[in-house]
Structures are given as structure tokens and as C-alpha cells.
Structure 1
Amino acid sequence: MSEFRPGTDTAFSGSVAEIYDRYLVPLIFQDFAERMGALAAACAPDAVLETAAGSGVLTRVLARVLPESTELVATDLNAAMIDYARRRMDGARRVEWQVADALALPFDAARFDLVACQFGAMFFPDRVKGYAEARRVLKPGGRFLFTMWDAIEANDFAHAVTEALAQLWPNDPPRFLARTPHGHGRPEVIAREVAAAGLVLRQIDPMTARSRAATAYEAALAYCQGTPLRGEIEARDPDGLGRATEHAGRAIARVWGDGPVDGAVRGYVVEAAVPG
């Protein structure tokens, strides 16, 4: 597995945020957000912190399922994502938005009852440190909920896109999807890192959901232009983004048809707790 690259693997800027939210969120994130929201609501927290909130898919679910009285703070390292997520909220529910690094949270210790992070931990340069920061800001007995993707081979369209781009650049294939989103989802690793952060592991629950898009091209667009994979493509060919997206779309269409397309996504829903 290639080494995580913090300078490029966390670059969600420019039009990436909008494409991410329009195409990638319904493709792979929404079902997991609903599951996370149900778990969060069952905890009946008074104060919730979301880290790595991205374009706000989980934030919107939490805003819907939690009582108005629950404090809801949403953070992300990328200002472009926070700005987009803030605009996407309908304003009916107060959310405190803040640019913040999940590895150095600007909050007092023992402030929150629950910390949630949907598919963000894979982007932490140091996951144990990120988990330890969640523990620090949680009250005794507080819960930490997060999700991780399984290996790329268990996620149909991400795997197809990665294999397709390797055909275009066989000597230097773009490996962002395999390296970062799908590079850390092994239960034994998750358990070891959670324990190293001083948290008590309650469950690692595998979850398989459906990944659907109107066309094969839209599925390819979500990955090629709505994630930091875009930067890897443009680094290899500054004018090749459209060509790469179309090539990946054809690869998806050969297996699942032109559209609507329906594949599998698989990840893990993890629940940990602060002792006490």
C-alpha cells in the first residue's frame, strides 16, 4: 500500500466540494449517514461534535434526528467544505460550524457527550492521535462513533475506477482511492488503534449498502472529479480529467451497463466509549 500523502490526499477544494456533494454523497454516503444518525440519537446526547464533516451529509442527518436542544458542532479541516456545508443547510436547525483539525481540536476537555466522524478517519495522518483527541473532548462514558471503508475490492465502483485509471497510466497508476479511503479498513487495525487511544471498543459492525447512480458516467464523475483523485489525474495530464472520467465511465458501463447503475459498497460502523 502506498504511503498516505497529507498534502494531496486531503485536498477537497475548488469545485471538488460541489461535485462531491452532488454525486458522491448519494452514491456512497447517505445510507451510512442514516445509520450513524440512528446510533447517535439512541445515545440521547446533550452535546455532539462532528469531525471531518465534509459537505455536511451526516450533519444534515444529525440536525434532523437530534432534538433542537442538543448542541451540534460540525468541523472540518477544509474551509471550502465547511463553507459549502453551511450553505447546504436549510437554516431550520442551528449548527455551529468551525474549521478545525481533528488531530488538534480547539475545544475544552470533557465538553461533548458524543463525537461522530463519518469516513474521515482514513484521512488522519495519525489516526491514534485523532481518536485520542476525540477521547479528550468527550465526557467520561461518552461515545465515539465513526465509519471506515472496507478494502477497495469490496467497493464496486471505486475498484472499477482505480483499475480503469491504471490502464491509462500503467507505469504510474493513480492510487488515491486504494491508498487512503480504502487503505485502513481492517477490523484488527481499527481495534488496535482504538485501544491505543485509550478508548473502549464496543463494536465494529460491517455494513454493506447499495451504490447507485443515474449513469455509469456519473459514478465515474463522482470519484474522478469529486475526490482528491482529481489532483492525481491532473498531475499526470493537466488536460486529461475529462478523458480519464470518460474512460472510467466506460469501464463501469461494461460491467453494470450505462445506467442506472447499482453496485455494492462496504464499510465498518465503529462505536467506542470513554471509560467511566
Structure 2
Amino acid sequence: MQAPTTDQAFAGSIPQVYDACMVPLLFAPYADDLAQRVAQRVAQRQPSRLLEIAAGTGAVTRRLASTLLPSVQIVATDLSQPMLDQAAAIGTARPVEWQQADAMQLPFPDGAFDMVVCQFGVMFLPDKAAAFAEVRRVLGPGGVFLFNVWDRIEHNEFAATVSDALAALYPGDPPQFMQQVPHGYFDTEAIRQDLHRGGFDRAPEIVTVDACSHADSPALAALAFCQGTPMRMQIEARDAAGLTGATNVAARALASRFGADAIDGKMRAYVVAVER
């Protein structure tokens, strides 16, 4: 079976479930962290144009729009137009330019931006070094590329629990989306090598950021993972009528490990900053 492209994978009802469930569950703490790091660098460098790639439904974009001065123009892009439509529908504190764009072929001239930001998006790029070369191309001299990636799945408790539950449900062909994509690019040495191959000659700064994932119930967390990510398509490919059942299996696994009411789990990610 041919894997869906990224723009196909984040279509249908996934953008709405993603923003309502996944963003508060996983992305909000790291969006705050990334926006604060951007603001610190903006205070030092006073950039005029910032590009966000793989903006999704705008979790980081909204924080940047609230944090940065209006003099900093924000251009937020994503390969998936439905995700951008959801982001634009939610809105931002000040105008943001939303534009559909492929990070592998950015539709911007050389040196067009002072900073490029990406929240949990580089894992989806098919050729990391080539994508990093594109980022370097659109950065001006002294510009900064700031992004984050998840650590291995074992250090992210909700994701690991859901993946284990689905592996038990489909032992002959377990869905591997979480392990292979979101949690598949955690080797910091590989990241350094890909940045170097992409033309970044300066050594990147890589820091570990631990956070807490919170859900009001195991059912909401299970809904986020099973129906708010492309894992939904993997479940439906194995059992066209099995999405609700798989979501319930994941919810029971989360409840068994973390409790039946509001739950909290550990998360870990890396934040990478590199100068052009």
C-alpha cells in the first residue's frame, strides 16, 4: 500500500481534531518554549522577516504573533492547505501571511528572511539535508534557524503507551507512524551531520527540553493520537471500521497506566539553533 503524502495525511477531519486535541496535549508547552527562544534572539538581532515552515494549525504562529513586535513580518507556511485553513480560521493577534509551500522547494528568493522557525516539522521532510539547504538559502547572512524535534518514543510516555496498545491490537502489522516519523529523528549526531550537509558550517546548539503532557481524560488523549494524526489512516487501512475500537483500546491502556481521570505524562524534545 502506498503511503499518503504529507498533504493528504493532514486532511479531512484531522486538522480540527489535531488543533483541538493534539495542540494542548503535546505541542502547547513546546510552542511556548520555542516562541520564548525566538523572542530572545529577536531582542538580540532585531530581524524584520521571519519564516515559519510546517506551521500546521498555527500553535507557534499564534504565540509569535502575540510575542513579537509588529515590525517583525511573519510568514507561516505548510505543505497542507487544510492545516493552514484551520490556522487561519482560528486567527492570530495581528496579521500573519499564510502561504502553502513545500519546505523542500521554498518559493522565496535567496536571503529573504532573518530567521526560520519550525516546530516538530523537520521529521516529516523526506530529505533532511536538502531541506536544510533550502532553509539556509532563504536565510540572510547571520540568520538563525531554530527548530525542535521529539526525542525517542520511550521518553514520551503517552505516545509510547498508545503505540504499544495498538501494536498489541494489530500484532501482525502494527501501526508505526509514531515511531517512524514524529519520534524517528532523535539522533543528535545525525541532525548535526544533516545540517552540515545542508551547508550550515557553524556547530548547532542542541538542548534537551523536558515537559509534561496533560489530558483531562485518557479518552481525550487517545482521540488525539488515533484520530488527530496520520496514524488514523494507518488504523483505517488495517480495519476500515476499527477506528473507534482502536481509540478505545488506546484509552484503556492510558487509563491503566496513568489513571482514569485527568492524566499527566512525561515528554522530551530537543531544541536546535544554528546560525547561517
**Partners of 2:30 and 2:102 in 1: CA distance:** 23
**Partners of 1:154 and 1:130 in 2: CA distance:** 27
Residue deviations 1:153-181, cap 9 Å, x none? Answer: 11001000110001111000001000100
- The SS at the match of 2:50 is strand
Contact 2:7 2:80 in 1 (8 A): no
- The SS at the match of 1:263 is strand
Which residue number corresponds to residue 212 of structure 2? 210
**Partners of 1:8 and 1:235 in 2: CA distance:** 16
**Partners of 1:249 and 1:9 in 2: CA distance:** 27
Contact 2:29 2:211 in 1 (8 A): yes
Contact 1:201 1:271 in 2 (8 A): no
Match runs of 1:74-89 below 5 Å: 74-89=76-91
Which residue number corresponds to residue 185 of structure 2? 184
Q: With the length of structure 2 as denominator, give the TM-score of the two structures.
A: 0.95
Query: Unaligned 5+ residue runs, structure 2?
Result: none
TM-fit CA distance, 1:10: 6.4
- The SS at the match of 1:102 is coil
Contact 2:51 2:113 in 1 (8 A): yes
Residue deviations 1:124-153, cap 9 Å, x none? Answer: 011111111110000000000010000001
Q: With the length of structure 1 as denominator, give the TM-score of the two structures.
A: 0.95
Q: For 2:237, which of 235, 238, 241 is the aligned residue? A: 235
Counterpart residue type for residue 268 of structure 1: Y
Identity of aligned residues (%): 47
Which residue number corresponds to residue 69 of structure 1? 71
Give RMSD over aligned pairs: 1.4
- The SS at the match of 1:69 is coil
Count of paired positions:
270
TM-fit CA distance, 1:38: 1.2
TM-fit CA distance, 1:202: 3.1
Distance 1:83 1:9, change over 3 A: closer
Counterpart residue type for residue 18 of structure 2: Y
- The SS at the match of 2:9 is coil
Contact 2:145 2:275 in 1 (8 A): yes
**Partners of 2:204 and 2:171 in 1: CA distance:** 42
**Partners of 2:81 and 2:7 in 1: CA distance:** 15
Q: For 1:255, which of 243, 257, 272 is the aligned residue? A: 257
